[in-house]
Chain A
Amino acid sequence: MNQQQDQGQTDLIVQCLTLVQKLRHGVGQVFKDLSDGVSDYVEETTEKEDTDGASSKNETTSKDKTGSQKEVTVGGDKEESQEKHRAILRTLKASLETISHDFSDLEKTGSTINSVQSFSNIDNLSLDPVDKNTVMHSQLLQSYKWTNKMHEFATQAVTVLAQNSLKRTSSPKFTSSKMLKGSMHVACHVPPATVDQLIASLVLTYKDMGMDISISRPLGNSTILQVELCRVLRAVVVLRGLMIEWVKVKGLDETFESDDRQMDIWSSSRYQVFQKITDHAVAASLHYYAPAKPDLAIKSYLLWLQGYSTLFSSPCHKCGRYLQNNLPPTWRDYRSREPFHDVCRV
Chain B
Amino acid sequence: MGVSCVFSYPVPEGRSGAQVVDILQKQVETMGGSKTGTFYVDCETYQSVMLNPPKTLHILHNSEYPASCFAILDSGATLVADTLFIALMSNLKNIYQAWKGAKIESKGNRFQLADFILKIGSVSLAGSFKGILLEVEYCPCIVASECWAMLKELLQSLIGNIAESPPSALKKKKWMKSTPQQPQCCSTWTISTTLGKLPP
Contacts and interface: CB of A to CB of B under 8 A. Distances in A.
Interface of A: 231-232, 251-253, 271-274, 312-313, 315, 321-323, 325-328
26 contacts: A231-B142, A232-B146, A251-B139, A253-B2, A253-B142, A272-B115, A273-B114, A273-B140, A312-B138, A312-B141, A312-B146, A312-B150, A313-B146, A313-B149, A313-B150, A315-B149, A321-B153, A323-B150, A323-B154, A325-B32, A326-B31, A326-B115, A326-B116, A327-B115, A328-B147, A328-B150
Nearest to B197: A253
Contact of B141 (A232, A321, A325): A232
A252 B197 CA distance: 12
A59 B153 CA distance: 139
A325 B113 CA distance: 9
B139 A271 contact: yes
A325 B147 CA distance: 16
A231 B143 CA distance: 8
Given A253-B2, A271-B139, 9 more contacts: A232-B146, A251-B139, A312-B140, A312-B141, A312-B143, A322-B149, A323-B153, A326-B113, A326-B115
Given A312-B146, A312-B147, A271 B140 contact: yes
B1 interface: yes
Grouping DSSP codes into helix (H, G, I), strand (E, B) and loop, the B interface class, with mixed when no group exceeds half, is loop
B145 to A, nearest CB: 8
Contact of B140 (A274, A315, A323, A325): A274
Interface of B: 1-2, 31-32, 113-116, 138-143, 146-147, 149-150, 153-154
B111 to A, nearest CB: 11
B142 A272 contact: no
Given A271-B115, A272-B114, A327-B114, A322 B153 contact: yes
The 9 closest A-B pairs by CB, nearest first: A326-B114, A312-B147, A322-B150, A271-B140, A312-B146, A322-B153, A313-B146, A251-B140, A312-B141
A252 B154 contact: no
A232 B2 CA distance: 11
Contacts of A326: 31-32, 113-116, 154
A232 B32 CA distance: 25
B140 A313 contact: no
A271 B115 CA distance: 6
Contacts of B142: 231, 252-253
A312 B143 CA distance: 9
A266 B32 CA distance: 30
Nearest to A314: B149
Nearest to B147: A312
A272 B2 CA distance: 14
Contacts of B147: 312-313, 328
Most buried by A among B138, B140, B147: B140
A232 B1 CA distance: 14
Contacts of A313: 146-147, 149-150
Contacts of A271: 115, 139-140
Nearest to B152: A322
Nearest to A313: B146
B54 to A, nearest CB: 39
Contacts of A312: 138, 140-141, 143, 146-147, 150
A38 B139 CA distance: 114
A232 B142 CA distance: 8
A248 to B, nearest CB: 15
B153 A325 contact: no
A273 B140 CA distance: 8
A336 B21 CA distance: 45
A273 to B, nearest CB: 5
Contacts of A232: 141, 146
Contacts of B153: 321-323
A322 B138 CA distance: 13
Nearest to B150: A322
Which among B142, B143, B146 has the greatest number of chain A C-beta atoms within 10 A?
B146
Contacts of A325: 32, 114
B13 to A, nearest CB: 32
A97 B149 CA distance: 106
A252 B141 CA distance: 8
A327 B147 CA distance: 12
